[in-house]
Amino acid sequence: MAKKHENADGTLRSLSNRHVQMIAIGGTIGTGLFLGSGSTISATGPSVILIYAFMGVFFFFMLRALGEMFYSDPNHHTFVSFITKYLGPAAGNFAGWSYWIGLLFACMAELTAVGTYFQYWFPHAPLWLVELIFLGALTLLNLTAARLFGETEFWFAMIKIIAIISMILTGVFLVATHAKTPVGYASLASLTKNFKLAPNGTYAFFTAFPMVFFSFAGIEFVTITIGEAEDPHQVIKKAVNETLLRILIFYIGTLTVIMCVVPWWSVSASSSPFVQVFQLAGFATAASVLNFVVLTSAASALNSTIFSAGRHFFQLAQEAKKGSWLKKKFAKIAPNGVPARGIAISVLFALIAPILSFSNTAIEVFSMVAGATSDIFILVYVLALLAHRKYRKSSDFMEDGFKMPFYQVTSPLTIAFFLVIFFSLFFVKANIFGASLATAWAVFFGSFCYFHQRVKDKRAGK
């Protein structure tokens, strides 16, 4: 007898609306807001707010496209499966394997970050041991039940929200009292004084776009929870629609307050503006508290990546050739409703990170390759948007569904915007290697997937 809320493939719909909403918030807010916002502010000044708003709108449109497809068929575990369904198995294989490999590198990067933040308090703790302990604990959570993953993410996200709201309230208090600081006075005038759209030149302004883009990467993770959400139709609407509001509050609200307290030309590119605001308010332990926040933020990202990578590998196994080793071994769900084998194989590859911690050269190479995999995500997003266009022309299209607003205009604009971001990477010195590697991967692996599928189709007489 089937369990309550059990999917046909054996997974359980155990994630409540509360879990999914907080996972959505967690996916929206990354460590980049806490640590990396200083570099974007120092590069572009107040116009960084316009960049975040502009970028946020396009990510919102992408989520609405994904949300529309999930609303029509919430039984999919990953948005990549829609690429297979509407663009064909060759595109699906390219996107699926590319995205999964990208998730592995993201997993290793977050694992390294967790270990580094932990060493802030315990500098002599072996990095590899710290990484193994965190990876083991979060893997155990993911293997136990999807609901336990959701509960963990709920509290991880709560910590980030408390930190942001605390910073905003502290900043508002400093502005309201016109507090004197070492760099002037906290005031709304600090935001607009000496305002220029590109204060450090056009090049610095446009290099901020890729930086902001990657701070939003991972926002699509919320859609991966839909296959295991208790009420998918209600959840997907709420999670996606509130994304734009979260961007306005958490990103734009935070950046506005920071620049009112610390004039934008005084914001340090190398330190966290959060710490600067709290220290100006007299909190001596601000750096230590922020380290705790970014540690939980990195752990949250690691937790979500393990969850996502496991589901993606399970999806790849499900779509594999009937009778293949991949399908036989990994297209299975454990009795507790999780794709345990998909999670296990993903975590096994993530163990490369602790091994790399013994060599500085290996870490440098890993960082460059990890950057390239992030670039590949852009291409996968574009394929997902193209799949959505095919969905619109298919018999699956729901006229009364959760439709992408102003589709005729927003769909091609979003695709064009993502492609512009990808090609802009070739004009930013720090991103040229990653963009070149991502392009080489797309050309060679994409060609392999295409010709491999043609051979399969020919053998099958298609």
pLDDT in tens, 164-195: 888 889 889 988 988 887 777 888 888 877 77
CATH code of 318's domain:
1.20.1740.10
Domain annotation covers residue 405? no
Domain annotation covers residue 95? no
Domain annotation covers residue 457? no
| Pairwise CA distance, residues 1 & 341, whole Å | 24
Domain annotation covers residue 171? yes
Residue among 394, 129, 159 nearest 293 (CA) = 159
What is the identity of the amino acid at 40? T
Domain annotation covers residue 440? no
Q: Cβ(373)–Cβ(305) under 8 Å?
A: no
Domain annotation covers residue 51? yes
pLDDT at 4: 47
Domain annotation covers residue 131? yes
- Cα 337 off chain centre by: 24
Q: List the domain range (segments joined by +) for residue 30.
A: 17-87+100-371
State the DSSP string of 265-327: GG--SSS-HHHHHHHHTT-TTHHHHHHHHHHHHHHHHHHHHHHHHHHHHHHHHHTSPTT-HHH
φ/ψ of residue 181, rounded to 5: -125, 170
Domain tally for the chain? 1
pLDDT at 444: 96
- Mention every residue, 6+ apart, whose C-beta is less than 8 A from residue 328: none
- Catalogue the long-range contacts made by 360-365 (C-beta closer than 8 Å, 24 or more residues apart): 363/112
pLDDT at 243: 77
pLDDT at 462: 64
* Other residues' Cβ atoms within 10 Å of the Cβ of residue 299: 22
For the chain, list residues with pLDDT below 50.
Answer: 1-4
Domain annotation covers residue 415? no
